[in-house]
Structure 1
Amino acid sequence: MKYPLLASLIASLGIGVSGVANAVNVDVNIGIPAPVVVAPVVIQQGWHGDRYWDGHRYWGRQEWDEHQHHDDHGHCPPGHAKKGEC
C-alpha cells in the first residue's frame, strides 16, 4: 500500500508542475540589428612615408625615380615640379 500512494503523489506532483510550466511565458526579443555604415576611404596621390601613390599602386622611392626617367608622358609628382626635380 505504500507504493501506490507514493506513485500517485509523484504523478500528481508531475501534473501540477507541468501546469505551472505552461502558465509561465518567457519571451526573448532580440530586435533588428542596427545598420552598419562604412565610410569610403580616399587616398590622395602623393608621398605617404617612403612610398608614392599614383592613383593605381604604391611605388618605392627608388622605383618611382627610375619609373619617372623612363616615363614618356611627362608626369611629375605634385610638388616636385616646383622644386625643379622633374
Structure 2
Amino acid sequence: MKAKLFAALGAGALILAASQSAMAGVAIGLNIGVPAPVYVAPAPVYAPPPPPPVVAYQPGYQPVYQPVAVVAPAIVIGWHGDRYWDGRHWWGRRDWYAHHRYY
C-alpha cells in the first residue's frame, strides 16, 4: 500500500518537473526604433574681465554718514504661543480666560 503511494507521489513530482522544463521556450525579439535625440552643450563664450573700479580722490570731500533707521517689529494682537497680547500687556492663558469669562 505504501509502495503504491510513494510511486504515485514520485510520478507526480516527475510530471511537475517535466512540465516546468517544457514551458521554457526560446524567444527571438527584433526591435526597430528611432535613436534618442542627443543634446550638445553650447560652446563656451569667453569675455574679457571687467575693468577695475576707478576711485578718484576729491580734496575737501567729506563723506556724509546717514543714520540708520531703526524700525521696531510689529507686534500682532492675538495669541503668541501660550501668551496673549491685547495691545497693552501680555496675558498668560489661564489669566486671560479667568479675566475674560464672557468670551
**TM bracket (short chain):** 0.3 to 0.5
Considering Cα pairs closer than 8 Å and 6+ residues apart, tell me whether 1 or 2 has the greater RCO: 1
Question: TM (normalized to structure 2)?
Answer: 0.36
Question: TM (normalized to structure 1)?
Answer: 0.42
